[in-house]
């Protein structure tokens, strides 16, 4: 045990296992507010989230506001409006949101609504459910007053038509900072960075944690395919007593190991956020070594005390960090393969 907090976490776990009743752990010292999010485009999301937190706002409002930024970014083809479509040309969006009181909401395979994260928030607030999908999610969004819109932009439409010439389904993660769009030096039509998710985690001035995750999923996916991002425990998990985690990359691999839940549970057992992300990634690498060689999965974690961890299978995963010292840090994560 490297710290008193880790010792406390481990003690609580042991007590829970032996059936002793233990009061929920609360912050020993007031945490410093912080926002972290996946990829370089997380910088802009963090800044908007930070404005909410600086005003004394709730972490849940902060992560929702932050997630809306890439959803509205017309240059971002992997989140929200302008996201690349499925193989039949439909833009379908996945999102989830969760706070530190186990309140959560999610939507999957949602079409025609530009801000799925806000629909996920309404699921959390207005329904007895956790997740709505497809036509039902759209019906709910329209009933809630969200406008029905065409999300396929001319640029995404052109990329899809280029992809139709080869129709090769090949996940290509954003592997270089500040590049999203066509893979540099590639001559293959439709050879684009075809998946990247915004996962954002925040700790506010009151020490409250929340997280949000939003994506258009894997470009050229099968119609109806849903990834990890809207699944609580896979793409996002928050436990107010321990910490929060989110993921990016090939969602099928994250769903298989309940990735974000695993990261938080490893933290509960005493691992630091960094070691927890490493172990969750290495489980994928160990269980599926051949598959893991060619695909990307990255985890980002934030403890209740404000410690951050990040790790990915492949190099190239970066995360954005915003705190009192600096609002626009981009930090490369370590990886299993160099």
Interface residues with ligand SD4 (CB under 6 A)? 173, 195-197, 215, 217-218, 227-229, 248-251
Nearest approach in angstroms of CB 317 to ligand SD4 is: 9
Residue among 233 and 251 whose Cβ is closer to ligand SD4 = 251
Task: Let me know if 197 is a catalytic residue.
Answer: yes
Nearest approach in angstroms of CB 13 to ligand SD4 is: 29
Nearest approach in angstroms of CB 200 to ligand SD4 is: 13
Active-site residue among 197, 214, 215, 248? 197
Give the chain as a 3 state SS string.
CCCHHHHHHHHHHHHHHCCCCCCCCCCCCCCCCEEEEECCCHHHHHHHHHHHHHCCCCHHHHHHHHHHHHHHCCCCCCCCCCCCCCCCCCCCEEEEEEECCCCEEEEEEECCCCCHHHHHHHHHHHCCCCEEEHHHHHHHHHHCCCCCCCCCCHHHHHHHHHHHCCCCCCCCECCCCCCCCECCCCCCCCCECCECCEEEEEECCCCCEEEEEEECCCCCCCCCCCCCCCCECCCEEEECCCEEEEEEECHHHHHHCCHHHHHHHHHHCCCCHHHHHHHHHHHHHHHCHHHHCCCCEEEEEEECCCCEEEEECCCCCEEEEECCCCCCEEEECEECCC
Nearest approach in angstroms of CB 125 to ligand SD4 is: 24
Residue among 28 and 222 whose Cβ is closer to ligand SD4 = 222
Nearest approach in angstroms of CB 49 to ligand SD4 is: 19
Residue among 46 and 229 whose Cβ is closer to ligand SD4 = 229
Residue among 9 and 229 whose Cβ is closer to ligand SD4 = 229
Residue among 85 and 306 whose Cβ is closer to ligand SD4 = 85
Which positions are catalytic? 197
């Amino acid at each position: 045990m490297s710290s008193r907090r880790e010792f406390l976490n481990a003690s609580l776990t042991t007590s829970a296992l032996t059936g002793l009743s233990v009061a929920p752990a609360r912050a020993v010292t007031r945490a410093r507010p912080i926002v972290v999010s996946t990829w370089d485009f997380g910088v802009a999301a963090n800044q908007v989230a930070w404005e909410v937190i600086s005003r004394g706002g709730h972490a849940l409002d902060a992560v929702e506001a932050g997630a809306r930024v890439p959803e509205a970014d017309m240059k971002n083809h992997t989140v929200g409006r302008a996201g690349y479509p499925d193989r039949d040309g439909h833009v379908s969006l996945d999102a989830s949101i969760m706070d530190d009181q186990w309140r959560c909401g999610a939507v999957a395979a949602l079409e025609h609504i530009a801000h799925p994260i806000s629909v996920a928030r309404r699921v959390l607030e207005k329904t007895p459910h956790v997740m709505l999908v497809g036509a039902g999610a759209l019906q709910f969004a329209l009933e809630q007053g969200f406008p029905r819109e065409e999300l396929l932009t001319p640029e995404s439409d052109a990329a899809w038509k280029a992809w139709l010439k080869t129709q090769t389904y090949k996940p290509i993660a954003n592997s270089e900072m500040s590049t999203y769009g066509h893979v540099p030096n590639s001559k293959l039509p439709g050879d684009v960075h075809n998946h990247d998710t915004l996962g954002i985690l925040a700790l506010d001035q009151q020490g409250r944690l929340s997280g949000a995750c939003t994506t258009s999923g894997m470009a050229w996916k099968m119609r109806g395919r849903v990834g990890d991002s809207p699944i609580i425990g896979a793409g996002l998990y928050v436990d107010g007593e321990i910490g929060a985690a989110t993921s990016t990359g090939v969602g099928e691999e994250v769903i298989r190991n309940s990735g974000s839940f695993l990261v938080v549970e490893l933290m509960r057992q005493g691992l630091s956020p960094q070691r927890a992300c490493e172990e969750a990634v290495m489980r994928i690498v160990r269980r599926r070594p051949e598959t893991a060689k060619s695909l990307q999965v990255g985890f980002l974690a934030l403890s209740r005390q404000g410690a951050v961890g990040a790790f990915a299978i492949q190099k190239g995963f970066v995360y954005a960090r915003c705190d009192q010292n600096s609002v626009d840090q981009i930090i490369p994560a370590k990886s299993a393969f160099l």
